Every structure is written in C-alpha cells, then in structure tokens.
Structure 1
C-alpha cells in the first residue's frame, strides 16, 4: 500500500538568477526614468501655467513613489525561502501593486481639487507650443518604458513590474489627452477646456487605480491559476500519469511568478513506493516544463480513495 505525499522543494519556484537580475534592473530603470519624466512635466507646467499640465506633473510624483515601492517589493520578493517564510516572499510584489493603486487614486483626487476651481474661473495658458513639445518628449519616454515593463513583466511574471507598466501606460494616455486639450485651447481660445481635461484625467486615473488594486488583492487572496493554465495542468497529468488510476482535488494558487499546485494521485494498493514515485516524477517534470515557476505537491492514495468526480487516467 502506498499512502504519502511527494513534494518537490526545489528552487524552481524562484526566478532564475538571470531573470531576477533582469527584473531588478528594470525596476531600477523605472525609478531613474520616473525622475526624468517628472522633471520634464514640471518644466512644461512652469512654462505654461496649464492646470492640465499641472495635473499630469502631479501624477508623475506618484510614478516616482510607485517606482521606488516596486523596487523595494521586488528586492524582498527575490529573497529565498527561510524558516519564517518557507514558501518564499513572492507576495511582496502584490503589496507594492496595491500601494501603487492607492497612490494613483490619491493623485486623481489631488488633480480634481486643483482643476475644479480652475474650471469655474479659467486662466490663460502661456507658451503652449513649448509646453506641448516638452510634454511630448516626456510622453515618448514614458511610452517606451511602459511597453518594456508590461512585456517583460508578463514574461517574467512580475506583478510589480506589470502594475508599474500599467500605471505608466495610463500616464501616457493622460499626457496625450493633455496635449490635445492645449491644442484645442490654442485653436479656439476656450480656456475652460484646459481644466475640463484635467478633471477627465483625474476620473481616468481613478478608474485605472481601482483596477490595479482589485488585480493585486486577487493575488493576496490566493487566487487560483487562470483557466488556460488549469487546462494545461490537467493535460500534463493525463499524459504522464500512466500506471495511476485517477487524480482528484486539483488545487492551485498564484504567488507572483510562482504557481503552487497540489492534488491527490490514486494508485493500485499493491503498487510499490518506488513505482508511485516514478509516476510523480513524470507528472511533476511535465508540469514544471510547461509552467515555469511551478511547485508541485502530490498526495498518493490507495485505490479505495478514488473520487467519482476525479480526473480519470487512460
């Protein structure tokens, strides 16, 4: 009779050294570029006095704070498991993403406080062409950085990088809206367009901040893997569990770049421990090849423990 748990406590759940270095370098790059963009946007505001540009500059302060928070969270998340945190520190990135969402919301409120009085009493915009040019340079820098962070964040499964990239991408659309507002003010002379766009910017920022918070809270609440990943897990089990009877109670949770997967594997009561171990090795190897950063726990049970809702092995 074989009844036991086969768990692989290998370092595969951690990012590879090269991946970890890449994530950290991207986080450092985000901090540096946040300062550059903030300087450009405040320069554009000083040149014009535009409340829309001021709202854009205010959000850039949030970008700097959020970039620092992401860098700190990534540094913590990359620490190896220890006695107090045997499953690792991966969830630290989610705390950074939640903080970033909160900061986005705070920026939106600050912008609204500044823009609403200006909407009631509009003021002229000066040097709009020069301000637009400076802001477009900052927008181009942000656009390139956002695409890089989102692409690498998804590839490396880094919630902090993805949240930072999403935030910066929101900032790009905000900046383009601000530029459009300044162009319309210059063409029409309608000064109220400037603060109106700032108010719309605040609403858009608040919406995206809420999305970042909800997504990050799902990670903190041990959300299961996505349906396509669940299907991939089941496929790996079916194709590599030859010799077993069935599998049931497949459960998973996501923690940053790591996927924790556990299930019960039912085998013939007369099967040896060695034979059951070989089946577990095959399944675990297949899942780890298909899903980078997977940690698999398999509980082996005798045939009388079969469940009617289990996954049959053909």
Structure 2
C-alpha cells in the first residue's frame, strides 16, 4: 500500500512539474506580447514553480527510500527541505519582482496587446487552480508536506494572476500605465508572504515542532477506539517524517496482567494508530502498571484488586495526553501524595 502511495505522489508532482513548464512558457509569451511588468512578474514567479516542482519530485522520490543504517527514521524529512527550498526561492523572486516594479515605476514604458496577453494569463489561472487543488487535496490525504506546499504555491500563483488580470483591466479602462508597476509591486509583497509561510513550516518540521492538527488527529483516533483496559495514556509525542509518522507514548495497563496479555494489548493499541494514518507509522509504547489511584477513573470490570470505586472519566484531549504523568485529578493527586 505504501509503495502505491509513493507512486501516486510521484505522478502528481511530475504533473505539477510538466504543468509549470507549460504555464511558464505561456506567461513569458504574454509578456513578450504586452511588455507588461506585472505579467513579467507573474512569469518570473512561474520559473520558481518549475524549480520548486523539480526539487519536490526529487524529495518525494528520496523520501520513498526505505530506512537504512544512516537514516534509522527513513528519509521523509527531506520533504521539509523541499518546502523550505521552495519558500526561499519565492522570497528571492519577490525581491526581483519588487525591484523591477520600482524601476518601471520610475521609468514608465508603453504597453501593448493587453487583451491577448490577459487571455493567455486567464488560461494559466484555470490550469494552475485545477492542479493546485488536486495537489493540496492529495497532499493532505497522504500527509505529504511537499505535495501540499507545491499545491498551495500553485493556488497562490492563481490568486496573484487574478490580481494581475484586474490590474490589466484597470490599465485598459483608465489608460494609467503606472497601475501595472504598482500591481507588480503588490504582487511581489504577496508572494513574499507566501514564501515566508512555507519557510516557517519547513523550519518547524525540521525542528520537530509540535503540530497541533496532527496531534489532534492521533488523539481522536485513540479516543474513538478507547478500551476499558486502556486505563491511561500519557507522554504522547508525534513526529512527522515526510508522509510517515513516529509516535511514542506511555500506556497504563492492569499491573497484574501477564506479559503476553500486555504485549497483545499494546499491539492492538498500535494497530489502531496505524489504521488511522495512510503512510507508514512507527510506534513505541511504554507499558506502565496501574496504581491504586487509577481506580477512580478505571472502567475495567471484574477487577479483583480494585481499591476504589469508579468515579468519572478523565478527558483524553491533546493537553492531557501530552503530559508526562498519569492523569489524576487534584484530589486524587493529594491522595497519591499522602499514600507515597
């Protein structure tokens, strides 16, 4: 299944690469016909799409390689490099675009064939939007940052092109050619922000920053399949490596269980997490024995060593499951301290 996922991701990013080449050619043709600085800005940004899609293709192929002695967690983090590389290229392009816009604003040049050029740009908007939406949808499906980043880049390119078309229409309507340079400058600032967002997410992934959405998905999977003998889960940590996940946590089980039964329960717990993620999921679960204070929120029936009657459940949410301690209420903590 994982092999099929990787092949699907490679085909999608290859589609993006070919489409970027085609659209870049159309935009440069539109610039040749119009001599519009705004259209040139859009064309320059499309060159970034080509380089970014090419690097994303390389990163996805590399991330699909199996683990080895030098990369015990696999090669998935290269997708964060891909997103960071794309973000850096976008920021560089925004600087070039802004410089060109200011130069043209100080030295205006006549424009021509704006209607034909606008038609070509409109075609690129349709194609960019279709491919971008597909990449974002599939990127989220396969938890691939490289696909998602490339898709969002194409969508932001479409939005920028729409703003560009509006500026061209304003030039045609008013005859004020300086609008073209101002639109190019705004365009540069817009893609600079998009580049910053991509770079920020790349650095966060490389630094193993906690992803609240990813953590919430894992917690929801645990809650949806919760068993009475899963007494407590804590110290839950989730790390992403490309489209793969590494999860570790502590699972509290009845202390009197035999080793084989505890082992089978941990395997059941791991299977729940693996079934709720499309990529590979590596899981390390540390088994903790229950304490007398756990009886207050333990629903295990027929327990022959129960010290206290069940009182209420403790909410298994992102905050609680991430704590490096068993989940006790304040009153139960006082009892535990007195007992210790």
- TM-score, reference length from structure 1: 0.88
2:311 paired residue number: none
Distance 1:97 1:63 in 2: 12
Shift of 1:236: 5.2
Matched residues in 2 for 1:57 and 1:257: separation?
31
Cα drift, residue 309 of structure 1: 4.1
* Larger Rg belongs to: 2
Assess, with a 3 A threshold, how the Cα gap between structure 1 residues 278 and 195 changes in structure 2: closer, same or farther.
same
Deviation of 1:268 (Å):
3.9
Report the Cα offset of residue 80 of structure 1.
0.8
Matched residue, 1:117: 103
Q: Does 1:62 align with 2:78?
A: no
Residue 317 of structure 2 corresponds to residue 301 of structure 1: no
3-state SS of 2:248 partner: strand
Deviations 1:95-125 (A, max 9, x none): 0000000000011001011110111222211
Contact 1:78 1:89 in 2 (8 A): yes
Alignment size in residue pairs? 296
Matched, 1:211 2:185: no
Aligned position for 2:79: 93
Work out whether 1:184 is the aligned partner of 2:170. Answer: yes
The Cα of 1:158 is off from its aligned counterpart by: 0.9
Deviation at 1:248, TM superposition (A): 2.5
User: Following TM superposition, by how much is the alpha carbon of 1:175 offset from its aligned partner in structure 2, in angstroms?
Assistant: 1.1
User: 2:125 & 2:101 partners in 1: Cα distance?
Assistant: 21
Q: Which has the higher contact order (CA 8 A, sep 6+)?
A: 1
Q: In the TM superposition, what whole-angstrom CA distance separates every residue of 1:240-275 from its partner, at most 9, and x where no partner exists?
A: 3x4454333222212222221111223344321101
- CA RMSD of the aligned region, Å? 2.0
> What is the correspondence of 1:21-60 to structure 2 with a 5 Å cutoff?
21-60=7-46
Whether the aligned pair in 2 keeps the contact of 1:111 and 1:198 (CA below 8 Å) is yes
Per-residue Cα deviation, 1:223-242 (whole angstroms, up to 9, x for no partner): 334252243154157x13x4
Q: Give the corresponding residue for 1:235.
A: 223
Question: Which residue does the alignment assign to 1:281?
Answer: 267
Unaligned 5+ segments in structure 2 are 295-322, 329-340
Which position in structure 1 is the counterpart of 2:117? 131
Is 2:232 the counterpart of 1:246? yes
Look up the match of 1:6: none
* Whole-Å separation in 2 of the counterparts to 1:267 and 1:172: 53
Structure 1 unaligned residues grouped into runs of 5+? 1-14
2:66 is aligned with 1:80: yes
For the residues of structure 2 that align with 1:282 and 1:112, how far apart are their CA atoms? Answer: 56
Tell me the CA shift for residue 220 of structure 1. Answer: 1.1
Checking the alignment, whether the CA contact within 8 Å between 1:139 and 1:176 is kept in structure 2 is yes
Tell whether the 8 Å contact from 1:41 to 1:57 is kept in structure 2 after alignment. Answer: yes
SS at 1:157 equivalent: coil
Distance (Å, rounded) in 2 between the aligned partners of 1:249 and 1:209:
34
Which residue is equivalent to 2:143?
A: 157
Q: Does the 8 Å contact 1:219/1:256 carry over to 2? A: no
Deviation at residue 20 of structure 1 after TM alignment: 0.9
- TM superposition score normalised by structure 2: 0.82
